Amino acid sequence: MRKNDGNLFSRVEPAEPPVGFFDRIILTIKREQEQQHTRRLLFGFLFLLSISLVVTPLSGAVLANQIKGSGISYFISTALGDLGTFFALWQNFSLAILESLPIGGIIIFSLSLAIFVFTLRLFLHRKKLLWGYLRQSFA
C-alpha cells in the first residue's frame, strides 16, 4: 500500500490561479498602501491642527502680557506724541524700543502661527485626498 501512495499524488497537477488573480492582488495591496498613507497624513494633520489651535492663542496671550509689561507701548506713544523730540533722538528711541521687545514671546508666537498656517496649507493642498479617505472610511 505504501508503494501506491506515491503514484496517487504524482498524477495530480497543481491548480492554476484564475486569469487576472495576481493583478487583483497587486491592485489590492497598492490600494491598502494608499489608504495607510492617507490615514497617516490625516492623523498628522489632525495632530498638528490640534496643537496649533491650542498653542497659538496661548502664545498670543503670553506675547500680549509681555508687551504690556515691557513698556514698549510707553516708548511708542511718546515717540508718536512728540514727533520733534523723536526725530531729534530717533536713535535712542529706536534702541529703547528694540531693547524692550519681548523676543522670546515673539519667537514662540511666530512659530505657533507658522505651524497653524502650514497645517492649513497642508489641508488645502491635500484636501481631495483627505476627503476621499473620509468618505471611503465612513461609507
Alpha-carbon span 10 to 28, nearest angstrom: 35
Residue 3, in any domain of the structure: no
Nearest by Cα to 48 from 110, 126, 118: 118
Residue 86, in any domain of the structure: yes
Task: Scan for cell 530717533, then name that residue.
Answer: 90
Residue 102, in any domain of the structure: yes
Residue 21, in any domain of the structure: no
Encoded amino acid at 71, one letter: G
DSSP state of 105: H
pLDDT above 60 for 48: yes
56 neighbors 113 (Cβ within 8 angstroms): yes
pTM of the model as a whole: 0.59
Residue 80, in any domain of the structure: yes
Number of domains in the chain: 1
Residue 20, in any domain of the structure: no
Residue 41, in any domain of the structure: no
Q: What is the pLDDT of residues 104-138, one digit of tens each?
A: 999 999 999 998 888 877 777 766 666 666 677 66
**Start-to-end CA span in the chain (Å):** 58
**Domain interval for residue 53:** 47-139
